[in-house]
Each structure stands twice: as C-alpha cells, then as structure tokens.
Structure 1
C-alpha cells in the first residue's frame, strides 16, 4: 500500500487554476508499476484540465492504455508541456490545445482540432474546474457566479454537445463532479451548485445517449491534492487539508485513474448514468 502524506506544508498560490510544478510535495500522478493492458488501444481521448492534477493522472494512465490524448488547458504551459512529454514517452500522440473552456466557440474548435489531428474522438473527459471560497452568498458577485458556471458546467455542456457529432457506439463521456453536492459546502456555494448541475447533466445525458451506444458517467473526488488547492485556500487551510476524512489524509490524483480507465473502457459496458466516489471513506447518498 502506498504511503501518501497525511500532512501538507502551509503554502498558497496567487493564481488559478494553480501550477503543479510549484506544489510541495508534488502530487502523485502515476503508479510507477502500472502496466497497461491495451484497454484503450486505438482510441482518442480529449481531456480538459489534462495538464495537471487529476487530469494529468488520467492523461498518463490513458496513454499507458494506448490511447492518443488531446489535452485542453488554460495557460499553464509548463505543466502542459511536462504532461505531454510524459504521455509521449508511452509511444502515443499528445495534442495540446490552449484556451477558455467557458466559451462555446473554443469548445467547438477543441473538438474539431482533436478529430482533425488525431483522427477521431472516442472518450471525452470533462474535468476542468475552478472554485472561489466565500464566507457568505452576499460576497459572491455576478461575475464570479458566471465565471464559475462557465468553467465548471457550461464547458461540459458545450463540449458534450459538439463531441456527439463524432462519438460512436462504444464511446464514453466522463464528467468530473465532486463530493460537495452530496454533503454541501457553505463556503463554496457557487462551485457546489455547478457540481450539482453536473450530476443532473450526467444522468440526463446518459438517458439521452443510451440509444446511440454512448455511455455517460461521472467521478466525484473528495479532498484531492491538486493545484486548485493552494490556488484556492489560505496557508492554514492547506496545512489541514484532507485530515477530516476517515483516512485522515488528502487523496492523490493517481488514486482516481482506476475509475477513469474503467469508465472509458469496455469493462464498464453495462454502466451509464453512474457516479464513482473517491473521497477517503466519506459516505454519501445519491
């Protein structure tokens, strides 16, 4: 069993979504002894937020399963290039696409570029997100509300809407949601609302696309050590991050890859409209 850190040094970053190369300790994004089994051989995956955090872990795992990867990210170029380098070491193609996933035109362009450069699209991982803690709903501006919904939810709507022009029977859509809509979070009101919308969207699209042979599922992370954490919270909060879980520690991005590989592969051929929870032992009701 891996020995992941239970405590984190106090730290903070001044920008979102944060830079992985500046984190201490660095998030764990791959199992060194992970051996791919060609579960995604010949497939193409588009992953938003694929440059770092959970997205980086998924990108590398999919590469090990022999999928070509398109990584969509905002402007964290150093992190993106590092992920691209690691993905290509697995002998697959990796395309970097930079832009704002909250804009429909860009989302359309990202899908079109993926199809043109990599020859198709089989897996869509809607993973990009942002959050801005506030002590009261009174502190949430219309600008913040719109920005959070555009990045977290509108992006998933836009990308799914465009991707289904190319997804074939057997394809998969995987949406990253959160533990928050299941348990509530009074300091992340708008963020939690976006994740609740994602849950409803996942179930509804699963019903809408089942006739086309396209599966739609979600993964709900708990407190995970990603760049969003030091970019979101003050130092003292980061130092205690994840310690209130039954496992007593924050999760690592790599601890999600089994879920994302499962949901992208034919091994989950009888699963749609479902959410897998990776949260350190917290019980939730669905």
Structure 2
C-alpha cells in the first residue's frame, strides 16, 4: 500500500518541470521491475519527459522496448528519462517539438522508424490544460491549443503511424476521469479527453481486422508537472485527497496499465478505456 504524501501549495509556469516539484513524483525509477513483456518492441511516447510519460518510458524499457521520447522543450527532464531508458539496456531517442504544429507528427513517427528500426507501440500521452473558473476566461487561442495538442496531435500521429504498424501493434491514448466526470474548471481539457476515449473506440473497430489494438487509459488525479503548472497554488495543496483512496496517484502507479495494453498478454483487449482513478467510478 502506498502511503499518502502531503502535497503542499506550489506553482510553476507551464509546461512545468518534474525536478522542481515538491515532492518529486515517483515514476518508478527505484521500484519498477521488468520481466521481458515488451522484448524487441519499439515505442513512441509523447509527453515522455516527465510524469506518466516518464513512468511509461521507464517501464517499457525495463520490459525490453526501445523508446522514442517526444516532449515539448523540457530538455533536462527528457534527458533524465533517456538516461533511465539506456540504463535499462535499451535505446532511447529524444524528439523535442510542439505537437500543436501540424507537421511534427509525421516527423516524430518517421524518425522513430528510421532510428529505432520500426514502430510497434504508439502512446499518445502529451496534454495541455489550464484551469479557469469561467469559460469566459478561456481565449479562442487557448481552446484551439488544447484541442491541437491533446486530440489533434493524436489524429495526426495515428495517420502517420498506420503505414508502419504491423499485426500485434498497439495504440494507447491517455484519456482521463474527466472524460466521464468533467471538472468544470477544465472544460476544454475535459472535452478533449472524452474525444480521446471516443477516438480510440472508433479506431479499435476500424483497425481490428488488421490485428492492431487500440485502447485508452483514464487516470484520476496524478502528481505530474501538469498540476502545479495549470492550477492556482492553493488548489494544488492536498491535490487528490478527495478520492476514495484519499490521495493522488504517483505516475509509477499508472505504468502497469500501459504495459499491459502494449503487451501480447492483452491480445484480446481492444476498444477499452482502463480506469486508474483511485476509486472514482467510470462505468
């Protein structure tokens, strides 16, 4: 059982940096133990510099996968993730860039294929959010950016990846408990997370005949750089304490769901939305 960690009030400017957080999130650096479940696979993970993306990158590498680490501009966080992938004996590839730029998706996929030798698992995890008390505070530019990064980029990445994905490949989207129970202060973000779950369900039906599985993971509150960089500091204090388990998740607690969905053990799992919410129901 994980002991609840008190999260104090704090604030960072977007996109946030993991090393500046108090406490620093646990991404499984000291705890995740692999068993070869992804041996030989090549994965592209967006938002892999920190938080859930870093935890997934660590877990995938320790399960035997090479990992392409896509991220915005948090070089120190991304380099730390790459070092952890390489310590596990796997190849890493650093891919900085803004997913809101329409041409980036194809570049990320092509570089992954060229430099890692293929693509078996696509994890669309990067996200943008900002909290507002009123929708009137959300600018048109912020609305568009939220959709471009969260769901538009996934659309473009999937299109670019499909020519390279073989039977047995997997696509995983990061949805959210907000897809089912939207927080009114996160209206644009919540809408994109519902779109991700819906998009994954559509893709699972389309791509099933090709043997490509598509699923989404719906996290509840998770202690990542997104939190102190998008909420007022007084809202960060005690983050996640209102869940039935009484605490926020650590990113390491999300990684096993992503490992399962990428592995051959999940060969009949497609079209699912896997809830990792600390007891908040998704039915």
Q: TM-score, structure 1 length as denominator?
A: 0.97
Q: Does 1:183 align with 2:181?
A: yes
1:164 and 1:34 mapped to 2: Cα distance?
Answer: 30
Once the two structures are superposed, residues 23-61 of structure 1 have per-residue CA deviations (whole angstroms, 9 ceiling, x without a partner) of: 010101006343311111111000000000000000000
Matches within 5 A, 1:111-130: 111-130=109-128
2:281 and 2:194 mapped to 1: Cα distance?
Answer: 17
Q: Counterpart in 2 of 1:239?
A: 237
Count of residue pairs the alignment pairs up: 283
| Matched position secondary structure for 1:229 | coil
Q: Does 1:268 align with 2:266?
A: yes
| Matched position secondary structure for 1:203 | helix
Once the two structures are superposed, residues 228-249 of structure 1 have per-residue CA deviations (whole angstroms, 9 ceiling, x without a partner) of: 0000111111112101100111
Stretches of structure 2 that go unaligned for 5 or more consecutive residues are none
Which one is further off, 276-285 or 58-67? 276-285
C-alpha deviation, 1:284, in angstroms: 2.0
Q: Counterpart in 1 of 2:23?
A: 25
| Matched position secondary structure for 1:231 | coil
Q: Counterpart in 2 of 1:204?
A: 202
Q: Counterpart in 1 of 2:9?
A: 10
Matches within 5 A, 1:1-286: 1-5=1-5, 7-14=6-13, 16-30=14-28, 32-285=30-283
RMSD: 1.0
1:266 and 1:23 mapped to 2: Cα distance?
Answer: 35
C-alpha deviation, 1:271, in angstroms: 0.6
2:186 and 2:44 mapped to 1: Cα distance?
Answer: 28
1:164 and 1:17 mapped to 2: Cα distance?
Answer: 29
Once the two structures are superposed, residues 251-273 of structure 1 have per-residue CA deviations (whole angstroms, 9 ceiling, x without a partner) of: 11000111000000001000101
Once the two structures are superposed, residues 64-84 of structure 1 have per-residue CA deviations (whole angstroms, 9 ceiling, x without a partner) of: 001000000000000000111
2:245 and 2:266 mapped to 1: Cα distance?
Answer: 27
| Matched position secondary structure for 2:7 | coil
Runs ≥4 in structure 1, deviation > 4 angstroms?
none
2:161 and 2:251 mapped to 1: Cα distance?
Answer: 25
| Matched position secondary structure for 2:67 | strand
| Matched position secondary structure for 2:229 | helix
Q: Is the 8 A contact 2:4 2:246 kept in 1?
A: no
C-alpha deviation, 1:4, in angstroms: 4.0
Q: Is the 8 A contact 2:29 2:58 kept in 1?
A: no
